[in-house]
Structures are given as C-alpha cells and as structure tokens.
Amino acid sequence: QVQLQESGPGLVKPSQTLSLTCTVSGGSISSGGYYWSWIRQHPGKGLEWIGYMYYSGSTYYNPSLKSRVTISVDTSKNQFSLKLSSVTAADTAVYYCARDTGGPGDCWGQGTLVTVSS
Amino acid sequence: EIVMTQSPATLSVSPGERATLSCRASQSVSSNLAWYQQKPGQAPRLLIYGASTRATGIPARFSGSGSGTEFTLTISSLQSEDFAVYYCQQYNNWPPRTFGPGTKVDIK
C-alpha cells in the first residue's frame, strides 16, 4: 500500500520560499504510470491544484502559480518536493501531496499546514 | 481554465435518506470527472473517477453519473460516516485540474 507523507517548516516568513518534501513509501516514484502532485487548501476553503511532475521530469503547473512554483523529484530518496517562492499570507494553507493516476488523485498524504507570517 | 460549480453548497439529510449532489463544468470535460470526500482534519479520499467508476474500497451506496458538463453524485442511503464535504474535480483540460467549491452534507 503506497503511503505519502509531507514534511517541512510549518512557518515561513513573507517573501521567503516555502519548501516541502513528500516521501513516498510502499512503492517507487520511478515505476512510471503515475504523476506526483501538490494540492493546497486555504483554511476553511476548497482545493487548489498546484501542479505535478512525472518521474521523468516533466512538470505541469497551475498557470496562476507557475511563476513561483517548482516541483522536483529525487528518485534516490523516493521523494518529490515543492518550492513556492515569494510567499505572502495568501499562501497560508494546508499543503497535500498526492499520487495522480493521470487525472484523479488516488492516494494522498495527510497534509501539512504552512503559515506565512513574520 | 474550466470552472467547476457545485450545488447545493450545503445539503441537510437524515441518516438513511438519499443524497444527490450536483457538479457542473463551464465547458465539456467528457467523462473526466472525479468525486472526493473530505472529513474534518483529513485529506480528501477518492470516491469516483471517470464520472461513474467507484474507486477501490468505496461502498456501492456511492454512485456517479453524467458526462459533458453535468454530473451527479448519489449516496443511496446515508450512513453516519458519510457526513462530510464532497468535491468534484475535472481532469479533461489541464493545467490546471480544477476542483469545485464543495458540497457539505450535514445531519438534518
């Protein structure tokens, strides 16, 4: 059974870069057939798809965040990462990593709250 | 970007009753539509994909229908564990893969 777990700082200062890592266990990121995604949820709000990457390195980002987002993969550690630059309070959210089967996310991490505040 | 809308925003239902949730896309998404359930403090759980296919382990009381721009999630007989927020998501035209705003199903 594949499991995903987010990790990273829970507090980031405005204008800095938010960095999160998702560790995948029970399956290999390199096995192919899956896309590795980041989704966020503002407090009390709905879901916003941030982007995903395929293990080969192809990436797709939400156009609304594209200028600030980088998703990368470390196959040796079976991890993928999210970097979001120049954060503001509007980036305060619960960040989820998920396995995407080419559309629906069939396996999600538990989520991690990131607060942007000085 | 395809905009997803859901109705109603809140649905009050008694246990054992049927719940019908609607999702609409601003343009056709074919059958590339998923439904998720989210309980407080938890990650979303995939219920339905391909508009009508139940994900692994999802009870048969959950069913999805529709294509194009109009979709429905039906819970045939609500159980206590079904009270949650339900989101639809299109994955036909991306990026981005857009979600609806959600429907909260609460106890009447």
- Read off the pLDDT of residues A86-95 as tens digits, 9 standing for 90 and up: 999 999 999 9
| Separation between Cα atoms, residue A52 and residue A66, nearest integer Å | 11
pLDDT given for residue A33 in this prediction: 84
| A75-94 average pLDDT score | 96
β partners of residue A22 = A6, A80
Q: What is the pLDDT of residue B50?
A: 96
pLDDT in tens, A33-65: 899 999 999 999 999 999 999 878 889 999 999
Reported confidence tier of residue A31, pLDDT bands at 50, 70, 90:
confident
Residue B27 has a pLDDT of 97
Q: Give how far B34 is from chain A: nearest CA, Å.
A: 6
Residues in chain B with pLDDT values less than 50: none
Minimal Cα–Cα distance from A1 to chain B, Å? 12
- Cα of B86 to nearest chain A Cα, Å: 10
**Closest B-chain CA to A41:** B43
Which of A34, A35, A49 has the highest number of chain B CBs within 10 A, making it the mutation to test binding with B?
A49
pLDDT at A12 over 80: yes
Of A63, A105, A110, the CB nearest to B96: A63
Predicted confidence at residue A102, as pLDDT, reads: 81
* pLDDT for res B48: 97
Among chain B residues, the shortest Cα distance to A103 is held by: B91
